[in-house]
Structure 1
Amino acid sequence: MAVESNATELRTLPDVTLPNLDGEPTSVSALAHGRPCVVVFACNHCPYVQSVESELGTIADAHPDVAWVAICSNDVETHPDDDVHGLRDQATRAGWHFDYLVDTSQDVARTFGAVCTPDFFVFDVAGNLTYRGAMDDARPRQPQLVDGAHLLSAVEAARSGQVFTGGKPSMGCGIKWREQ
């Protein structure tokens, strides 16, 4: 069942450090370092992510002045396709040349208020949240809609420190939370 994002309490880019796919600690704010930053909560198994992942890679490559970061917060015990090996395969398949981080504790997803994959958060150069929502109007089985329109508009707004109020909520597979 698809999950849709809602309003978030988040206002600024959290100073979080997570391991990348090689196990190296990676600071999201250090990656941003005075640039607009896009953080996407993603995973390997979700058809909503799979339907946009290649276009996301193309967009990220076309905008090297923006910091791009993917984070997987899913429980790999229940979704083993989202383990480090699966995420590496996904990054290769999708042409992602940006950091993919692993949120094993799921604390970072909670800090952001992320609820689904994909779930996009765009920050300006000062680290202020300027957009939270969908990449575009695409849904699985609607490949003609994969164009990154909302994300591209949000990135342009972030470059000038503006909030992008267009777009729509993220929709995708719910984050696979561990039982508490």
Structure 2
Amino acid sequence: MAATPPLCDFGWPAFDARLPGVDGFTHSIFSQAGPKGLVVAFICNHCPYVKAVIARIVRDAIDLRAHGIGFVAVNSNDAGNYPQDSFENMKRFASQNALPFPYLHDEDQSVARAYRAVCTPDFFGFNKDMKLQYRGRLDASRKEIGPADLRRDLYEAMVMVALFGKGPAEQQPSIGCTIKWKVSAFQV
């Protein structure tokens, strides 16, 4: 089922956490920030929306480094009910797609809850002060790979953040598969 997250809550503070990465190390989300900001992307292995754009996510993460923007991806899906999103399958996905950024496992889903992540992919773009400046789509692709000349919404927004510390006022929401929540994820 497709979901669309809310638009950017400008100035909302990022949340740090330490999560295991597919590279065998534990990573702090904040330690992935570049000098000008950070993109936190919620993705997973099996979502057709993610699969359609993973090469573009990799391209944009690499290109944003030159602008001082770091990148990290988090998988928060319930691997018990969705074994395609298990940690072992995350390792395979990262290798197959040559992910140039840490791919972290949010097994207890606390990071997804803290960020109020809704779908995969769901992109959060923060400035150097770790204040939210972008919550929108990668580009106009959906479950199919879009044409090569699509406007690079995330990339352009984060270049703007790198230059001015602020994201664009107009943002298009991402769309993707819902986060696969554990039943206990919403229990208090």
TM-score by length of 2: 0.88
Residues 27-69 of structure 1 show CA distances to partners (whole Å, capped at 9, x for unaligned) of 1112216331011000000000001101111121222232110
Give the length in aligned residue pairs. Answer: 180
Alignment partner, residue 100 of structure 1: 103
Residues 97-148 of structure 1 show CA distances to partners (whole Å, capped at 9, x for unaligned) of 1001110010100100101000000001111100011111111135226746
Structure 2 stretches lacking a partner, 5+ long: none
Alignment partner, residue 138 of structure 2: 135
Q: What SS class does the counterpart of residue 143 from structure 1 fall into?
A: coil
In the alignment, is residue 3 of structure 1 matched against residue 3 of structure 2?
A: yes
Say if 1:179 and 1:23 are closer, same or farther in 2 by CA, change over 3 A: farther
Provide the rounded CA distance (Å) in 1 between the counterparts of 2:151 and 2:123: 11
RMSD of Structure 2 on Structure 1 (CA): 1.9
Q: Is the 8 A contact 1:44 1:50 kept in 2?
A: yes
Q: What SS class does the counterpart of residue 55 from structure 1 fall into?
A: helix
**Structure 2 residue identity aligned to 1:102:** H
Provide the rounded CA distance (Å) in 2 between the counterparts of 1:17 and 1:104: 12
Deviates more, 1:15-24 or 1:108-117: 15-24
Q: What SS class does the counterpart of residue 88 from structure 1 fall into?
A: helix
Alignment partner, residue 89 of structure 1: 92
Q: What SS class does the counterpart of residue 183 from structure 2 fall into?
A: coil
Give the alignment partner of residue 154 of structure 1, picking from 154, 157, 160: 157
Q: Is the 8 A contact 1:8 1:112 kept in 2?
A: no
Alignment partner, residue 165 of structure 1: 169
Alignment partner, residue 126 of structure 1: 129
Question: What percentage of residue pairs aligned between the two structures are identical?
Answer: 34
Deviates more, 1:23-32 or 1:150-159: 23-32
Alignment partner, residue 20 of structure 1: 21
Q: What SS class does the counterpart of residue 144 from structure 1 fall into?
A: coil
**Structure 1 residue identity aligned to 2:170:** G
Structure 1 stretches lacking a partner, 5+ long: none
Alignment partner, residue 53 of structure 1: 54
Provide the rounded CA distance (Å) in 2 between the counterparts of 1:11 and 1:37: 13
Alignment partner, residue 77 of structure 1: 80
